[in-house]
Amino acid sequence: MRLRNLVSASLVAVMVGLAGFPALAQKAPPSPVESVRKELLRLPYYGVFDFLSFKYDHGVVTLMG
């Protein structure tokens, strides 16, 4: 009976320890396209009637609109 309690307590401890493991995984860095999109959305004078687009090609960003 005592061994059974020890095994149960050990399993619970392992499960609790592993529950936090996904939180330690690092996020992948954002893609360059996503970074450009976020920066365009931060423009102070950008409104609903403005049309902005961009093209990303091997490190070169071309703004259009």
**Which residues span the domain enclosing 29?**
2-64
State yes or no: pLDDT of 49 exceeds 90.
Answer: no
Per-residue pLDDT at 60:
92
pLDDT at 1 over 70: no
Chain center to CA of 26: 8
Predicted local confidence at residue 19, as pLDDT: 63
What is the tens place of the pLDDT at every residue in 13-46?
666 665 666 655 677 788 889 999 898 888 888 7
| Number of separate domains in the chain | 1
List, in order, residues 6 or more apart from 35 with CB less than 8 Å away.
none
pLDDT at 9 over 90: no
- Cα gap 37→20, rounded to integer Å: 32
Stated pTM of the model: 0.53
